[in-house]
Structure 1
Amino acid sequence: MLQHLLRQFWHRKFKNILLSAEILLAFLLVFAVLAMTLRYLQLAQLPMGFSYQDVWTVEVLARDKGTVENDPVFYEKLKQGLSVLPEIEQLAFVSSAPYTPYSWRTNFYLANSSAIHKVYSLFAGDHIFDTLNMKLLAGRWYSEVDEGKTERAIVITAQTARNLFPGHINLGDVIGNIVSDDGSDLEKRSQLKIVGIVSDFRLHGELEAPENFAFMRFSPLSSERGVAVLLLKLRPGTPRNFEAKLNQQLRLIQSKFGSRIETLSDLRQTKLQEDITPLIAAAVIAVFMLLMVVFGLFGVLWQNTTRRIPELGLRRAVGASSGSIYRQILSEQFILTSSALIIGLLILVQLPITGTFGDDLDWPLFGLASVLAMVVIYGLTIICALYPAWRASRMSPTQALHYE
């Protein structure tokens, strides 16, 4: 039976190649959509490292489009002026707010090692951890006690600690180690002391893969550059119309700077929409491609069944049952689909083997996306073959004798 099916497949090889190419392309698109969806679901389950609820951002805007200088008087005035508002529980100065597209990447070096460790960082004031309700895993938060010390205090994430010191099983052993940041001049590299370790922190939200991350202490008294963003932790239930009161207070504090106020909830929603848009676009393309394959495949199978009336009628005349005809049509479709999927898998398996997408497409995710994509393609192609197969199985020998 299998030999007969393969012979029939080979006799119609040119038409089958075109159909296999359509099925192959549909399989690749479905795999891509499923792999992206599964990766997003995987990332959404990971801890984000901070809390965005009831946190607002205030970006200080220089009216002359210049930068905000590191002026201790200015920052103290902002802090004192906003602290009088009862709705504000805590505030912190940062170089950029979560969910915004800004980030700073630097290189970390260990003593007596030339290895380069790429680390994303955020310059933040002493109260950033309370403002974002972050969890300390080992050590302590940096604070005013670190002011004026030669070695600048930093807090790193657990992933960064494991990558910098792979031999340390206990995170507490990493506390107190010294690293240096990048710089063109070896002698001018800053010495950074690890004083605390927090859970993995994803600055750009739920759909960002965890990266090496470090918090660099910002101090109005000693930092080289200023920061232009404030994070405000508000009392739960603070209404949105508090923005007008906050704007008024900011104008009273400092009139030469403008401000832009947003909530982390709104920034999060915008970032999620931006991240999901490519997935939606890919899904729409995949759906249209699948519809083209379904309609094309159904039409071709219908046409093939009509053209094969003499062959199928002859099989019925020599004793073939309607069930065997039905299974033959479905089996032929199964072989056609399988040939396309095998080629597709041979192409896609190169991705995890070469590590093209790194952790975004590891072997478990690849395996699950492949299986689901195969189920979708097999299901659609078999559904397309059901009616033509049923129609062929109902054919009688007399139809073949009268066929012209």
Structure 2
Amino acid sequence: MLRHLLKLIWKRKGRNMMLSLEILLAFMVVFAIAAFGLRYWQLYQLPVGHNWRAQWAVGMQSPTMQLPNDAALYDNIRRSLLAMPEVESVAFSAFATYDMTRWTEDYTLPDGSAKLTIDGMAVSDDYFATMDMRLAAGRFFSAIDDGADAVPVVINRKLAEYWFLGKNPVGQLFLLPREKEAPVRYRVVGVVEQFRSHGEYADPVYFMLQRWVPGVGKEAADFIMLKMKPGTPRVFEARLSARLKQVRGDWTYLVWPLSDARESMLRTQMLPLLILSVIAAFLLVMVAFGLFGVLWQNTTQRIPEIGLRRALGADAGHIYRQIAAEQMLLSSGAMLIALVLLVQLPLTGVLGDSLNWPVFVGAVALSAGVIYLLSLLCSLYPGWRAARLSPTQALHYE
């Protein structure tokens, strides 16, 4: 039966060529959407490395657009906020989590080898407790690092495994090369499993959190990170801003819960997937109309053939199954060609972790299921129409 169906498809290869091309393109588009969605689902399962449920952020801005790194001022801010019953912990950072800000530099090992682009963020000693972070190895930096010969940093597991695989990363040194000055030295004091400042849908990157000390260096911390008592209402924002105005009245303060920032970030990151899904749905509708029309035309042109089969004893079920099976085989051939092309992506690693093997296999399975379902639905009515022809009606066309 299979051999007979393949012969029938081959004899009509001219008519089936454009239909096969449509199915191939539809499969590739659905594959892209499925891979995109599965990668997002995969990323969502990974920890972000910090909490957001009880955390708030405050952005500070001065009239001169440049905050002074004044130790007394930051200490005053910290004490004033901790005096509020709703505030459990206060920390400072270069930027907030669930924000599109990104800071990267190219670092090397002490011998100048293994150059690597690393995302970083400067944070104060209280940042880890404020963000409910947990250690995988070593310790968080603190006052005991005052006067250290290198900037203390906490790195994520991904960076530790890339540079220090098979070694204890705690205590290891790396450098930030500079053209006209001596390189900046960094020493690893701790390792966290993960830290993704851009949220659940962000790809894991090489990340480090370096120590920032109020009053040390020229760079100021532009953000206050707060850990609030559970259940703190949004109306507390007004009181918080008023308290900060008492400390420095000429500055502007923008307050928001990280839960709101997270929701906004997730919506923004989902937007490309939604747009692609709408385009894919439109394409599938067009393919469905084309597929249905071609199958209708094919069954009309094959009425004499169908009548002959009925006259020779084939029942309606056999005709129905033949029409559906031919379409399934045609779809399988088109998808097989597409699969040969798409499998090159994970084999070559051109898309990196974005298209790993679990995502690839899952996307292929979902895409094949969609195309098979579409093919089956489009063949139901033409197959039923062909199956209900009586031999007398069909042979009348001869």
Instruction: Identify whether the pair has TM-score above 0.5, normalized to the shorter chain.
Output: yes
Could you tell me which residue of structure 2 aligns to residue 115 of structure 1? 114
1:288 pairs with 2:302: no
Q: Confirm or deny: 8 A CA contact 1:148 1:222 kept in the other structure.
A: no
Secondary structure of 1:306's aligned partner: helix
Could you tell me which residue of structure 2 aligns to residue 351 of structure 1? 345
Aligned equivalents of 2:3, 2:360: Cα separation in 1: 33
Give how far 1:83 is off: 2.2
Gaps (5+ residues) in structure 2? Answer: none
Kindly report which structure 2 residues correspond to 1:232-251, keeping only aligned pairs within 5 A, or say none.
232-251=226-245
Aligned equivalents of 1:3, 1:231: Cα separation in 2: 69
Secondary structure of 1:60's aligned partner: strand
- What code does the residue aligned with 1:135 have? R
Secondary structure of 2:136's aligned partner: strand
1:253 pairs with 2:252: no
The correspondence for 1:190, drawn from 167, 184, 188, is 184
The correspondence for 2:330, drawn from 326, 329, 336, is 336
Cα deviations by residue, 1:126-157 (Å, 9 ceiling, x for unpaired) = 00000000001221111122122221111111
Give how far 1:234 is off: 0.9
Give how far 1:30 is off: 1.1
- The ranges of structure 1 where at least 4 consecutive aligned residues each deviate by more than 4 angstroms after the TM superposition are none
Aligned equivalents of 2:274, 2:198: Cα separation in 1: 20
Give how far 1:28 is off: 1.1
Secondary structure of 1:48's aligned partner: coil
- What code does the residue aligned with 1:163 have? Y
Secondary structure of 1:110's aligned partner: coil
Q: Confirm or deny: 8 A CA contact 1:147 1:222 kept in the other structure.
A: no
Aligned equivalents of 1:144, 1:400: Cα separation in 2: 92
Secondary structure of 1:188's aligned partner: coil
Aligned equivalents of 2:16, 2:177: Cα separation in 1: 58
Could you tell me which residue of structure 2 aligns to residue 149 of structure 1? 148
The correspondence for 1:200, drawn from 176, 194, 205, is 194
Secondary structure of 2:108's aligned partner: strand
1:128 pairs with 2:123: no
Kindly report which structure 2 residues correspond to 1:252-401, keeping only aligned pairs within 5 A, or say none.
252-401=246-395
Give how far 1:24 is off: 1.3
Aligned equivalents of 1:2, 1:73: Cα separation in 2: 83
Could you tell me which residue of structure 2 aligns to residue 165 of structure 1? 164
Give how far 1:113 is off: 4.4
- What code does the residue aligned with 2:43 have? L
Could you tell me which residue of structure 1 aligns to residue 63 of structure 2? 63
Give how far 1:283 is off: 1.3
- What code does the residue aligned with 1:383 have? L
Q: Confirm or deny: 8 A CA contact 1:98 1:205 kept in the other structure.
A: yes
Cα deviations by residue, 1:68-106 (Å, 9 ceiling, x for unpaired) = 121223212222222221211111110000010001112
Aligned equivalents of 1:257, 1:221: Cα separation in 2: 19
Secondary structure of 1:211's aligned partner: coil
Give how far 1:261 is off: 0.9
Aligned equivalents of 1:291, 1:279: Cα separation in 2: 18
Could you tell me which residue of structure 1 aligns to residue 93 of structure 2? 94
Aligned equivalents of 1:332, 1:196: Cα separation in 2: 62
Could you tell me which residue of structure 2 aligns to residue 212 of structure 1? 206
Aligned equivalents of 1:257, 1:98: Cα separation in 2: 22
1:227 pairs with 2:221: yes
Aligned equivalents of 1:178, 1:337: Cα separation in 2: 57
Q: Confirm or deny: 8 A CA contact 1:88 1:232 kept in the other structure.
A: yes
The correspondence for 2:175, drawn from 166, 170, 180, is 180
Aligned equivalents of 2:123, 2:129: Cα separation in 1: 12
Could you tell me which residue of structure 2 aligns to residue 35 of structure 1? 35
Aligned residues: 398
Aligned equivalents of 1:34, 1:80: Cα separation in 2: 50
Give how far 1:229 is off: 0.6
Secondary structure of 1:237's aligned partner: coil
Aligned equivalents of 1:87, 1:3: Cα separation in 2: 76
Could you tell me which residue of structure 2 aligns to residue 10 of structure 1? 10
Cα deviations by residue, 1:208-255 (Å, 9 ceiling, x for unpaired) = 121111111011132331121110111111111111111111111101
Cα deviations by residue, 1:362-385 (Å, 9 ceiling, x for unpaired) = 112101210121111112102211
Aligned equivalents of 1:278, 1:195: Cα separation in 2: 39
Secondary structure of 1:315's aligned partner: helix
User: TM-score, normalising length from structure 1?
Assistant: 0.94
Aligned equivalents of 1:398, 1:182: Cα separation in 2: 88
Give how far 1:22 is off: 1.4
Aligned equivalents of 2:275, 2:42: Cα separation in 1: 20
Aligned equivalents of 1:211, 1:353: Cα separation in 2: 22
Aligned equivalents of 1:210, 1:253: Cα separation in 2: 38
- What code does the residue aligned with 2:294 have? V
Aligned equivalents of 1:361, 1:131: Cα separation in 2: 35
Aligned equivalents of 1:41, 1:401: Cα separation in 2: 55
Gaps (5+ residues) in structure 1? Answer: none
Quickly say closer, same or farther: Cα 1:82–1:5, change in 2 above 3 A: same
Give how far 1:3 is off: 4.4
Cα deviations by residue, 1:347-400 (Å, 9 ceiling, x for unpaired) = 211211121210111112101210121111112102211222222122222112
Percent identity (aligned): 44
- What code does the residue aligned with 2:202 have? E
Secondary structure of 1:239's aligned partner: coil
- What code does the residue aligned with 1:349 have? V
Point out the more displaced range, 384-393 or 31-40: 384-393
